[in-house]
Amino acid sequence: MKFDLSVLYHQANSFSILPAEDNRNAIYIVTNNQRIGNEVYNEIIASYDLAKKYATEDFNETIDHLSSECKAQLKSCDFLLAVYNAAGCFIAQNGKTRAIQVRPQEQEIVFDSRNLVLDIYSSKMKTTQLVDYKPGDLLMLFGDSEFETSGVRRALSNNEISVSDKFNKIAASKDFDKTSFLMINAVDVKNPLSLNILREIKLKYVGYVALICLIGSLVAWALNSDLLKGSDNSASVTDEDTLVTTSSNNEADTILTVHKEETKVDTTRNKDEEKKERKNDEEGEHKKDDSEHKSEKESKAIDKEKEKEKKAPEPEPVAETPSPAPATPTEE
């Protein structure tokens, strides 16, 4: 990130503000121990390129390079540091000092150092990197933290007055007339796309990700290819009506083939066949019922005829007439 800054100072009590006047180093310190402030300021300028990232690890190294006397007094002093670098605005806070970032366009406080938590395992102070930074944001560095932020927010969010008038309004208030502070106005903020993040990633992890992507693409290709489907081409049928020819930029014809799935056709055919079978079954059942009904009628008719025969009177016997005796042959 690149910043175009405008700074206003208010020197009141025993706190020191470094540098004493506006500078292009983009390093600002508010502290009650000027010796510590001078050593930290000079060490950062001599050892670090602020066109690159300045983070908590770099700040810890800066503290390690201080003199033994400054190291002994560091934890007991009030100290506030703001370093504008390629990654954003680095903040280190200790003691009664306080930093507030106000965004007048949205009329809200974007950052308050009171919300920071000290990590004793990774940092020697409360630190953070402000990456949410927009043109017009105002960063206030106070030597005293006992004040109401609502008044500061209202004064800095008044877009009808200039930045200098906002600064004078805060300096004239009773809460800050005896407090040293400075206002840093971000006139312009540029966040160019860089490869610094990629440089921090180890090359082996990039290789792992590329390998995983390659394996995934091969698996997807194999699943969609005919190699796993086998040599049976009955699963898909290409119809001449589904061939669409389009012309590409290099005047070559591209043929798009639309495959019709036979499963849909088979399902419709199966449904039709099931309907026909149901109709045949129903007709067979009706015929069976009709035949059974007819057989029942026929059996009933036979039974009735048998009953009639039983009830009919038996015919009277007819007397047999004696047959004439055969003629005896006469004697000649």
Q: Is residue 292 part of a domain?
A: yes
pLDDT digits (tens, 9 = 90+) for 225-251: 755 555 455 444 555 555 445 454 444
Q: Are residues 43 and 179 in the same domain?
A: yes
CA distance 277 to 285: 12
Q: Are residues 118 and 190 in the same domain?
A: yes
- The encoded tokens of residue 267 equal 């399902």
Q: Is residue 203 part of a domain?
A: no
Last residue of a domain, one of 137, 168, 194: 194
Q: Are residues 186 and 298 in the same domain?
A: no
Q: Which domain holds residue 264?
A: 236-304
- Across residues 11-31, what is the average pLDDT? 83
Of 70-84, 208-222, 223-237, the poorest mean pLDDT is in: 223-237
pLDDT at 239: 52
pLDDT at 204: 60
Residue 310, CA distances (Å) to 94, 295, 297, 300, 317 in order: 131, 23, 20, 16, 18
Q: Are residues 38 and 120 in the same domain?
A: yes
pTM given for the model: 0.59
Q: Are residues 189 and 83 in the same domain?
A: yes
Specify the CATH number for the domain of residue 136: 3.60.40.10
Last residue of a domain, one of 194, 222, 254: 194
Last residue of a domain, one of 194, 215, 246: 194
Q: Are residues 100 and 246 in the same domain?
A: no
pLDDT digits (tens, 9 = 90+) for 161-171: 999 999 999 99
Residue 61, CA distances (Å) to 43, 45, 302, 303, 311 in order: 10, 13, 122, 122, 134
Q: Is residue 116 part of a domain?
A: yes
Q: Is residue 219 part of a domain?
A: no
Q: Are residues 188 and 255 in the same domain?
A: no
Kindly state the greatest CA–CA separation across the chain.
198
Residue type, 231: S
pLDDT at 289: 62
Q: Is residue 208 part of a domain?
A: no
Structure-model confidence comparison of residues 46 and 320, the more confident one: 46
Q: Is residue 135 part of a domain?
A: yes
Is the pLDDT reported for residue 303 higher than 80?
no
Structure-model confidence comparison of residues 116 and 23, the more confident one: 116
Report the percent of the chain where pLDDT is more than 90. Answer: 45
Q: Are residues 39 and 94 in the same domain?
A: yes
Total domain count, the chain: 2
pLDDT digits (tens, 9 = 90+) for 22-32: 666 799 999 99
Q: Is residue 37 part of a domain?
A: yes
Structure-model confidence comparison of residues 228 and 177, the more confident one: 177
pLDDT at 34: 93
- Across residues 57-80, what is the average pLDDT? 93
Q: Are residues 259 and 161 in the same domain?
A: no
CA distance 301 to 307: 10
